[in-house]
Amino acid sequence: KQILVIHGPNLNLLGSREPEIYGALTLPQINADLAEIAANAGAELKSFQSNHEGELVDRIQAARTDGCQFIIINPAAYTHTSVAMRDALAAVALPFVEVHLSNVHKREAFRHHSYFSDLAEGVICGLGAQGYRAALAFALSKLG
């Protein structure tokens, strides 16, 4: 079982970036936690972060042929702007869950729209890093 978690722009700064909104955990801590949970369930979790839209599109495309069966993605600011990443996810046709650390619906209006949600299996927001764990638990149960 192979699961890919993709983190969009500025999420490399987690831990120091607006911790009152995004929490105190760093991205390596979140990824290590998820990798351990996956390994204990007999699955493999790969993670990828980029601040560049084209690199994110390339990584999503690569998931089509690298054995990945499920994607967990926090597109970060690209949630609200990226038709290109949406199209890449539609092209690879793998099931995915969209995760946001913060509750985007109680923030600025421009964060209320997502280019991903209507393609996603589900959307989790506002649970902080626990949202990734919930998405992973769902992916693991889906993959059986």
Binding residues: 74, 80, 87, 101-102, 111
What is the closest distance, in whole angstroms, from the C-beta atom of residue 100 to ligand DQA in the complex?
4
Residues that bind ligand DQA (CB under 6 A): 10, 74, 76-77, 79, 100-102, 104, 111
Active site residue 100: yes
112 is catalytic: no
Write down the least CB distance from residue 45 to ligand DQA, Å.
18
Catalytic residue among 7, 52, 78, 100: 100
User: Alpha-carbon dihedral of residues 55, 26, 2, 42, nearest 10 degrees?
Assistant: 170
- Pick the closer one to ligand DQA by CB: 80 or 142: 80
The DSSP element (H or E) to which 30 belongs, if any, is helix 27-40
Q: Between residues 27 and 32, which has the closer beta carbon with respect to ligand DQA?
A: 27
Using the minimum distance from each CB to ligand DQA, give the nearer residue, 13 or 39: 13
The distance from CA 114 to its chain's CA centroid, rounded to whole angstroms, is 13
The number of angstroms, rounded, from the C-alpha of 52 to the middle of its chain's C-alpha atoms is 15
Report the nearest approach of ligand DQA to the CB of residue 83 (Å): 16
CA pseudo-torsion sign 27, 51, 135, 71: negative
Phi-psi region of 113 (alpha: psi -120 to 50; beta: other; left: phi over 0): beta
The catalytic position among 22, 78, 115, 132 is 22
DSSP 2: E
Rg (C-alpha) for the chain, rounded Å, is: 14
Which active-site residues does the annotation give?
22, 100
